[in-house]
């Protein structure tokens, strides 16, 4: 019996940890299991062709909100091409309406509900031996004209029963994320989240986790993303894992989802001492409006959250990604503006402005009518309207999200945005992003492809038209941000340089000065003047370009030093 486990990832860099766990647990001499991963952006014909060529007896798809529509189309085609193939669906997108799915989609034979490892293995054993499926817990299936829902399956008590899923050959993760879990479940019960449907947190043993991580780090995997829902819910365990990583790591970066207000003073002291560039944290605050958090059964000590995130952001050794959700119960547009500003003013590296989704199986979806939620009928079930926020307001926030993603989250306009939001907009960042998004819409810039120079020009055009009195100052900060992030790119048309001919002569003189080069650029002193010129850029500013609070004006020469073959400067040198 040939079994194919398949899924479609949202992006190429993603990988499916679910398929690996299923294969690892279910491998047996009685059948052959292959895993095949695609992305939702690949041509449907290519996916269908490869699955047909595989000629599976059992074809199982791992289903999520981003791939369910494509999987349904594949099931229709492949059932016609391979009528004897048994098609099985599993995953969060099909676990909560299995009977309804089987009723409307005749191409699907069996649905696995909930955690899949034990259920899939039992199912394969029954299919191989042609036994009745009546005693396989955790499945829904078609029996003639009837739809049968078997008993739910209990969650695995011992996660260590799952064999290791990563072996010595990890070359496929050279340019992809490796997903890893050290625990399953979440200590919280947020009603918008599927984690609320499972009670408690289960963990793999520390010995197992260390063995896995030792192998992953030894193989030099670039990035590991822990999928633990709240990595630091057990602070002692979280710290032990992080200390193990720090002790054995060479070049791998690690991403964790954490709850910031759970960080103790002792743990914070540890975090602040971690070398930069190893860890990144994704922190789901969702909202700072307490009635909204209470409405979804989420608790948060906002004061402690703010204090902890601010400390981490100021230290800057851990990359911070903060999540907001627009559309929560009780939070109107006005309150969301406040949540946005509070999070923005902490200056995390990334702010994800997401939108509430009515996920199948979530308690909030069951209570949707109570809140007047109107949401998409098909995946991803995003909220469109509610008692608290109108569709036009959601549209406005969607435009803001697009501008935020490009101008803030890519981190290329840090100094400029700091001046605009703090000085021009008096620490009301939301007001700026509202105005800029509206201007984008008015100019017809959404939906077009733009170069970095274009985007820089568009921001300057906005300033010139809406805040002309700040044009000269913004020019200097925007010029600095552009140069530090775009090696050897000519200045955008809207930006003005200070005496470029004189600047060029001064740079030439500096590079001829062997004493200057040996002292200021010792790591580049061995290069010829020509090669050295490709690694540096000199620019003159009319004010201090890195400090928006400085009142000093007058010429300020700055030398930008770039790593080989990289756009972003690694350091800057202020010249006398």
Render pLDDT for 502-552 as a digit per residue (tens, 0 to 9).
888 899 999 999 999 999 999 999 999 899 999 999 999 999 999 998 888
* The 3-state secondary structure of 68-89, one letter per residue: HHHHHHHHHHHHHHCCCCEEEE
Looking at the chain, the whole-number percentage of residues with pLDDT higher than 90 is: 90
Phi, psi of 73 (to 5 degrees): -70, -40
The half-sphere exposure of 286 on its side-chain side, counting CA atoms within 13 A, is 25
pLDDT of residue 197: 66
Q: What is the pLDDT of residues 21-50, one digit of tens each?
A: 999 999 999 999 999 999 999 999 999 999
Round to the nearest angstrom and report the end-to-end CA distance of the chain: 76
For the segment 372-399, the average pLDDT, to the nearest whole number, is 97
Q: What is the pLDDT of residues 83-114, one digit of tens each?
A: 999 999 999 999 999 999 999 999 999 999 99
Q: What is the pLDDT of residues 442-467, one digit of tens each?
A: 999 999 999 999 999 999 999 999 99
Q: What is the pLDDT of residues 284-317, one digit of tens each?
A: 999 999 999 999 999 999 999 999 999 999 999 9
Non-local (6+) Cβ contacts of 228 within 8 A are 181, 182, 183, 184, 256, 257
- The tokens for 300 are 């948060």
What count of other Cβ atoms lies within 10 Å of the Cβ of residue 227? Answer: 16
Is 80 exceeded by the pLDDT of residue 379?
yes
Q: What is the pLDDT of residues 134-172, one digit of tens each?
A: 999 999 999 888 999 999 999 999 999 999 998 877 888
pLDDT of residue 475: 97
pTM > 0.85: yes
Looking at the chain, the whole-number percentage of residues with pLDDT higher than 70 is: 99
Going from the C-alpha of 575 to that of each of 160, 234, 271, 568, the distances in angstroms are 59, 50, 35, 20
In angstroms, rounded to a whole number, what is the distance separating the alpha carbons of residues 97 and 68? 13
pLDDT of residue 195: 75
* The 3-state secondary structure of 261-311, one letter per residue: HHCCHHHHHHHCCCCCCCEEEEEEEECCCHHHHHHCCCCCCHHHHHHHHHH
Cis peptide before 453 (omega within 30 of 0): no
What's the alpha-carbon Rg for the chain, to the nearest Å?
27
pLDDT of residue 396: 98
């Amino acid at each position: 019996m040939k079994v194919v486990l398949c899924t479609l990832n949202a992006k190429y860099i993603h990988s499916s940890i679910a398929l690996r766990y299923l294969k690892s647990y279910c491998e047996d001499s009685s059948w052959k299991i292959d895993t095949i991963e695609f992305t939702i952006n690949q041509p449907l014909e290519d996916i269908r062709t490869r699955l047909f060529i595989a000629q599976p007896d059992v074809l199982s798809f791992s289903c999520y909100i981003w791939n369910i529509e494509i999987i349904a189309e594949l099931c229709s085609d492949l059932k016609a091409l391979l009528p004897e193939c048994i098609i099985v669906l599993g995953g969060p997108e099909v676990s909560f309406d299995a009977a309804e799915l089987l009723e409307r989609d005749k191409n699907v034979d069996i649905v696995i509900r909930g955690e899949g490892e034990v259920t899939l293995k039992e199912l394969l054993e029954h299919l191989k031996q042609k036994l009745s499926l009546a005693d396989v817990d955790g499945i829904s299936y078609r029996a003639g004209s009837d739809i049968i829902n078997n008993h739910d399956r209990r969650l695995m008590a011992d996660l260590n029963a799952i064999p290791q899923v990563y072996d010595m050959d990890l070359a496929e993760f050279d340019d992809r994320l490796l997903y890893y879990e050290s625990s399953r479940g979440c200590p919280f019960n947020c009603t918008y989240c599927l984690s609320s449907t499972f009670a408690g947190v289960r963990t793999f043993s520390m010995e197992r986790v260390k063995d896995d991580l030792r192998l992953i780090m030894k193989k030099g995997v670039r990035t590991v993303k822990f999928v633990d829902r709240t990595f630091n819910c057990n602070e002692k365990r979280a710290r032990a894992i992080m200390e193990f990583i720090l002790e054995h790591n060479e070049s791998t970066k690690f991403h964790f989802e954490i709850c910031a207000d759970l960080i103790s003073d002792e743990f914070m002291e540890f975090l602040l001492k971690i070398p930069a560039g190893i860890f990144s944290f994704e922190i789901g605050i969702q909202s700072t409006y307490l009635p909204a958090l209470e409405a979804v059964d989420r608790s948060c000590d906002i004061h402690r959250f703010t204090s902890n995130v601010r400390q981490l952001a100021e230290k800057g050794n851990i990359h911070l990604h903060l999540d907001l959700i627009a559309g929560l119960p009780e939070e109107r547009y006005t309150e969301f503006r406040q949540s946005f500003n509070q999070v923005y003013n902490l200056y995390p590296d990334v702010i994800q402005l997401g939108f509430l989704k009515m996920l199948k199986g979530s308690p909030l979806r069951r209570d949707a009518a109570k809140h007047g939620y109107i949401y998409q009928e098909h995946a991803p079930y995003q909220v469109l309207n509610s008692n608290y926020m109108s569709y036009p307001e959601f549209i406005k926030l969607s435009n803001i999200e697009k501008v935020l993603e490009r101008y803030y989250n890519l981190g290329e306009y840090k100094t400029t945005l700091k001046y605009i939001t703090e000085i021009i907009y008096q620490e009301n960042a939301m007001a700026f992003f509202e105005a800029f998004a509206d201007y984008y819409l008015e100019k017809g810039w959404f939906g077009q492809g733009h170069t970095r120079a274009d985007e820089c020009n568009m921001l300057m055009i906005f300033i010139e038209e809406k805040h002309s009195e700040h044009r000269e100052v913004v020019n200097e900060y925007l010029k600095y941000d552009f140069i530090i992030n775009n090696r050897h790119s000519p200045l955008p048309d809207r930006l003005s340089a200070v005496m470029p001919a004189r600047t060029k002569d001064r740079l030439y003189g500096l590079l001829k000065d062997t004493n200057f080069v040996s002292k200021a650029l010792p790591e580049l002193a061995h290069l010829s003047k020509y090669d050295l010129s490709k690694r540096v850029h000199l620019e003159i500013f009319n004010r201090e370009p890195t400090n928006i609070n400085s009142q000093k004006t007058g010429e300020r020469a700055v030398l930008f030093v770039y790593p080989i073959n990289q756009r972003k400067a690694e350091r800057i040198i202020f010249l006398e």
